[in-house]
Amino acid sequence: MTASPEKLASLMTEQRNPRSNDIDRMSTHEILDLIHREDLYAYNAVEPALPQIEQAVEHIVQAFRNQGRLIYVGAGTSGRLGVLDASECPPTFGVDREMVQGIIAGGWDALRRSIEHAEDFPEVGAKEIQKLGVGENDVVCGIAASSTTPFVLGALAEAHQLGAKTIFLTCNHDVEKRPEFDVIIQLIVGPELITGSTRMKCGTATKMVLNMLTSTAMIRIGKVYQNLMVDLNATCNKLDQRARRIILTLTDLNLQQTDQLLQNANGRVKTALVMHFCQLSRDQAEALIAQKEGRIQDIIPRK
């Protein structure tokens, strides 16, 4: 499964960028200006991939509705970005930490320091998938800027064997369609400013797409009302204040009434809103929210 030297040399992510041939002779201002202009390639690479990103989101939404998980798999920068996106979902959307997870080659130590050789073993990627008990209700998203990372390809092959839906996110265009890829997202950002440094444009484009995958899926399953994160976990003062502001924004209550409503709702913003707008008890509100699969936009009348 490891790519040949000839294959690696031919990858777009390994090509030299003619616009940066003289970057070592540029001034600080010129370097910064060039980096900024190159980042536009990352932004522009996302639009052509929107149909595939949409397909991926639909698989993720279906997984979440079936009590399944989204599992990111990557090495190096790709792995760190997956872990980062997964770690942001619980405080933002109030979901269980198991719902979106990130696997990085080399384990947790690789989050803080580079362990490059960890990506070379497809069987290790497969074992990570086995350890999580991946099944047909799950989605596994492999992230590999180069498209050749053995750890990621091994994980996707194993996930496919276990019946999970699979997404392959890469920044190269010469990607062989394999049975283990249900969706291929290709972000063609072009050669990096510093040859082979995929932490730059590839990393930027990848981060943009991961934001899209989880945020869109969470909106679809009712974690957002209007444009407010009504399922947040108020685990710190900032989020506690945000919960209060959401109630104040959407209702005609004052601060004292808002605090009382949140207390009666056990701190749950969704429950508080349904209690207020539908004049229900906490138990009645939560039963109705469950009946509507968490989508309070299907309960509260829209002005």
Question: What would the pLDDT profile of 100-123 be if each residue is shown by its tens digit?
Answer: 999 999 998 888 887 777 888 999
Does residue 303 fall inside a structural domain?
Answer: no
Residues 173, 285: one domain?
no
Is the pLDDT reported for residue 239 higher than 70?
yes
Q: Which residue carries 């690696």 as its tokens?
A: 8
CATH code (residue 149): 3.40.50.10490
Residues 62, 179: one domain?
yes
Does residue 74 fall inside a structural domain?
Answer: yes
Residues 212, 75: one domain?
yes
Predicted local confidence at residue 3, as pLDDT: 59
Residues 107, 216: one domain?
yes
Over residues 186-237, the pLDDT tens digits come to 999 999 999 988 999 999 999 999 999 999 999 999 999 999 999 876 778 8
Query: pTM score, two decimals?
Result: 0.90
Please give, one letter per residue, the 3-state secondary structure of 260-298: HHHHHCCCCHHHHHHHHHHCCCHHHHHHHHHHCCCCHHH
Does residue 67 fall inside a structural domain?
Answer: yes
Q: How far apart are CA 214 and CA 72, in angstroms?
A: 11
Q: What's the token pair of residue 286?
A: 């939560």
Distance set, CA 146 to CA 57, 293, 298 (Å): 22, 39, 43
Residues 200, 269: one domain?
no
Residues 91, 32: one domain?
yes
Region 280-301 average pLDDT: 94
Over residues 57-67, the pLDDT tens digits come to 999 999 999 99
Over residues 253-265, the pLDDT tens digits come to 999 999 999 999 9
Domain assignment of residue 256, given as a range: 237-298
Residues 152, 246: one domain?
no
Q: How far apart are CA 217 and CA 212, in angstroms?
A: 8
Is there a contact between 175 and 184 (Cβ–Cβ < 8 Å)?
A: yes
- What residues are labeled active site? 88, 119
Does residue 231 fall inside a structural domain?
Answer: no
Region 159-174 average pLDDT: 95
Instruction: Tell which of 220, 248, 283 closes a domain.
Output: 220
Residues 132, 202: one domain?
yes
Residues 60, 180: one domain?
yes
Region 77-97 average pLDDT: 94
Residues in the chain: 303
Residues 130, 268: one domain?
no
Instruction: Tell which of 193, 220, 247 closes a domain.
Output: 220
Predicted local confidence at residue 108, as pLDDT: 86
**pLDDT above 90: percentage of residues in the chain:** 77
Compute CA 131 distance to the chain's CA centroid, rounded to the nearest angstrom: 21
Residues 121, 249: one domain?
no
Band the pLDDT of 177: cuts 50, 70, 90. Answer: confident
CATH code (residue 278): 1.10.8.1080
